[in-house]
Amino acid sequence: MSIRVKLEAFEGPLDLLLHLIDKNKINIYDIPIVEITDQYLDYIKQMEEKNLEIMSEFLVMAATLINIKSRMLLPAVETEDEQDADPRQELVDKLLEYKMFKYVSEKLRDKQENASRILFKPPTIPKEIADYKEEIDVNELIGDLTLSKLHEIFSSIVKKQSDKIDPIRSKFGKIEQEEINLSDIFIQIQEYGIKNKIFYFRNLLEQQSTKMEIIVTFLGILELIRLGRIRIEQEHMFDDIRITYLASDIITMEEAGF
């Protein structure tokens, strides 16, 4: 789990790549692609399939790296064409551009820090003046806009939307991505319990809100009751459930035989 946390610290594949380049003290214009690709893939392996969407972005970069790597490994073709570009060039350009924006965003952070010391004053328009509101003339606002023009705008948006939908796959119904990891939530409840001893069911839901997460959290609570690791109290129906954590350690789902 610690590895996953570390990986999530990277904003994306470019960020991870920059980190590796930095860590290895590599000249960005002369990336030892074989080495970096290996290290990059190592990181990816540690990621596991926690989040498919994030994962896929890192994989695209991995594919790019492997592609460059293979092109670098091929014997260089002797050509007169001096423009036979370094296969790494595009990646280098991307990395440099990204690095540049990381650099200016730090500068902007300083500017924001300074600007936050300047304070403004809310409007204090006397009530009788504020009450006077310039009527917004809808006719003037609409101008020469006609219903058919509006319809045209609408159609072009709807058309664009239907263009995006794959007519065959859209009939498959919604495929929900399994984002919730039951064993993780089971551990999280216990970690929360050790830290807080007495807490409420609602506390647990503060960070997670999908229906699925609520259900899974509830299942976890039921399991912990069965194991005698927590005690719960609820005065009235629909009241928040008060939970007292009795155990002092954490068990995994496998150990619990869940």
Partner 1 sequence: MDIKLVEARIEAILFTMGEAVELDRLALAIDHDEDTTRKIIRNMMDKYDDESRGIHIIELDGAYQLCTKASMYESIIKITHIPKKHVLTDVLLETLSIVAYKQPITRLQIEEIRGVKSDHPINKLLEYNLICELGRMDAPGRPILFGTTEEFLRSFGLQSLDSLPAINPEKLEDFKLEAEEEAEQLTLDI
By CB under 8 A, name the binding residues for partner 1: 11-15, 21, 25-30, 53, 57, 61, 94, 96-105, 107-109, 111-112, 114-126, 129-130, 132, 134, 136, 138-139, 141-143, 145-148, 150-151, 153-158, 160-161, 163
Residue 8 Cβ, how far from partner 1 at the closest point, in Å? Answer: 11
The distance of closest approach from Cβ of residue 66 to partner 1 in the complex, given in angstroms and rounded to an integer, is 16
- For residue 173, the minimal CB distance to partner 1 (Å) is 17
Residues with Cβ within 8 Å of residue 179, at least 6 apart in sequence: 51, 210, 212
- Give the nearer residue to partner 1 in terms of CB position, either 100 or 194: 100
In this complex, which beta carbon is closest to partner 1, that of residue 163 or of residue 254? 163
Contacts of 16 (CB under 8 A, 6+ apart): 7, 10, 40, 43, 58, 61
The residue type found at 10 is: F
Spatial CB neighbours of 257, under 8 Å, sequence gap ≥ 6: none
By beta-carbon proximity to partner 1, the closer residue of 41 and 247 is 41
Residue closer to partner 1 (CB basis): 117 or 236:
117
| Residues contacting 110, CB < 8 A, separation 6+ | none
Please state, in angstroms and as integers, the Cα–Cα distance from residue 68 to each residue in 24, 37, 82, 87, following that order. 19, 9, 19, 6
Q: Please count the other Cβ atoms lying within 10 Å of the Cβ belonging to residue 58.
A: 19
Nearer to partner 1, 65 or 189 (CB): 65
| In the complex, minimum distance from the CB of residue 109 to partner 1, in angstroms, rounded to a whole number | 6
**Smallest separation, CB 124 to partner 1 (Å):** 6
Smallest gap from Cβ 233 to partner 1, in A, equals 28
What whole-number distance in Å separates Cα of residue 29 and Cα of residue 118? 42
The nearer residue to partner 1, 134 or 176, going by C-beta atoms, is 134
| Three-class DSSP category at 230 | strand
